[in-house]
Structure 1
């Protein structure tokens, strides 16, 4: 995920954190399907961990009394803070039809809340003008570098078509993958994994949301 520079500097200077992952995000998904069983949109909700939420609010001078409560105006000032994406960034969300990636729109209908010390944001992403059948599609939320760890939290909701369902498939945690994950966690905050020969493992650790629809 791409973040404001000041917040990234806070993360780099914070010790004694391991290098990867820095940020933990509980992800909720709503799959929107039309009456013909075609996928139209994804509603994506990110609940950031308390530590990263604290860094963001401190960086922006929010919650000066440290009571863990933000005013409506303070919450409004956060809206869109995580939507400043560089060109070509996929929003750490990949939609697959077999091996083919389906492009999603830029985020819209962005909303932000703050509960129990955590920043919670949501956004809507549309499928292109040619709507694919939802049956068999796979949604994978992940950061390739594993700088941010996304975990699909709770039930995935499917809206608009009662014949469609979604299930979460957990990654296959092989011994090699566990070893790589452990090696990443040992790195200090200023070491890029690629500098020590470690590969990007974000995709291998990703949850997969598999959509299925019954034939009419």
Structure 2
């Protein structure tokens, strides 16, 4: 995830954290399909872990009474905090057609809520023309550096089609990946994994959402 507040907030409280990942995000997807069976939009939901949510609210001076409840105005002030993407950032979401990446728009129609001590945001992304057939598409939410760990634990739904369905495929956790995870977690929180020769493993650990559609 690439926006300024993440780095600022985590550096302020880096000492108790392991190196990677720093942020845990439960992810949900709404796959929007048109009458011709083409995928036109994705609505992506990110539910941030409680600790990161606390860092964000404290950094912004929200919830001063520490009761875990935000006013409507406080929630409104959070809207879009995670949408300040740097140029070229793909939103930690990759859409694949036959192994080739399909371009997505920047975030639109951003919404934010706060529940059970967690910030939950959603945003809409349009599929750039020409919209691909939904059947066989793969959606992968991940941060290549594994600084942020995304896991598809929220709902995955299909909107606009009764013939399409989504299946969540977990990553293949082989011995090499487990060893790399242990190496990452052992690093000092301020150490960049690339500085000690560790590769980016976010894609290898990513969940895959596979769309399949029955012939009409």
TM interval, shorter chain, is over 0.9
Output one character per residue of 1:29-81: Cα deviation in whole Å (capped at 9) or x when no partner: 00001111100100000000000000000000000000000000000000000
Q: Which runs of 5+ in 2 are unaligned?
A: none
SS at match of 2:125: strand
**What is the CA-CA distance between 1:2 and the residue it aligns to?**
1.4
TM-score, normalising length from structure 2?
0.97
SS at match of 2:76: helix
SS at match of 1:156: strand
CA distance, structure 2, for counterparts of residue 13 and residue 41 of structure 1: 36
Q: Could you tell me whether the CA contact under 8 Å between 2:30 and 2:156 is conserved in 1?
A: yes
CA distance, structure 1, for counterparts of residue 18 and residue 153 of structure 2: 23
SS at match of 1:32: strand
CA distance, structure 2, for counterparts of residue 43 and residue 95 of structure 1: 12
**What is the CA-CA distance between 1:3 and the residue it aligns to?**
2.8
CA distance, structure 1, for counterparts of residue 154 and residue 147 of structure 2: 22
TM-score, normalising length from structure 1?
0.97
Partner of 1:8: 7
Partner of 1:27: 27
Q: Which runs of 5+ in 1 are unaligned?
A: none
Aligned pairs for 1:141-160 (under 5 A) are: 141-160=141-160
SS at match of 2:64: coil
SS at match of 1:75: helix
Counting matched residue pairs gives 215
CA distance, structure 1, for counterparts of residue 58 and residue 4 of structure 2: 13
CA distance, structure 1, for counterparts of residue 78 and residue 155 of structure 2: 27
CA distance, structure 1, for counterparts of residue 37 and residue 121 of structure 2: 27
Alpha carbon RMSD of aligned pairs, Å? 0.9
Runs of 4+ in 1 over 3 A off after TM superposition: none
